[in-house]
Amino acid sequence: MEKQIIKDEKCGNYNAPDQEAAASRSAGASKEGMHPDHSASKKRINRVKGQLDAVARMIDEREYCPDIIQQIRAATNALRGLEAEVLRGHLRGCVTKALQSNDSFEVNDKIEEILQLLNK
């Protein structure tokens, strides 16, 4: 029986279905080796949630506008940190794999993908 190979279009990895199943069972990652593990970023997400809850509370309590703006900026900066962390994982994982593949189409796709992200 011939193994079917599946290409992950986002990271450009090729895996047989049994490799995907084995990967999903390993180390708590859903698709180990296909996408970077961003579970450590959940701490940042919880921090942002707390900051946004504080903004909502401050608005409900009609607090001083500059204090609300300061809290919004803190949440915005925390989101930027989260974005940078996820981007770093993408560059070190998916983009590095594309570069190592020596597939010029895949490399160009990753470059365009990053440029689009930076221009949004």
Could you report the per-residue pLDDT of 44-53, keeping only the tens digit for each?
999 999 999 9
Assess whether 110 and 68 both reside in one domain. yes
Assess whether 114 and 73 both reside in one domain. yes
The phi-psi region of residue 7 (left if phi > 0; otherwise alpha if psi is between -120 and 50; otherwise beta) is beta
1 band by pLDDT with thresholds 50, 70 and 90: very low
pTM of the model: 0.64
Assess whether 51 and 108 both reside in one domain. yes
Q: What is the mean pLDDT of the chain?
A: 78
Q: Structurally, how many domains does the chain consist of?
A: 2
Assess whether 62 and 108 both reside in one domain. yes
Task: State the residue range of the domain holding 21.
Answer: 1-35
Assess whether 109 and 67 both reside in one domain. yes
Assess whether 17 and 63 both reside in one domain. no
End-to-end CA gap in the chain: 46
- DSSP letters, 36-57, are ---GGGHHHHHHHHHHHHHHHH
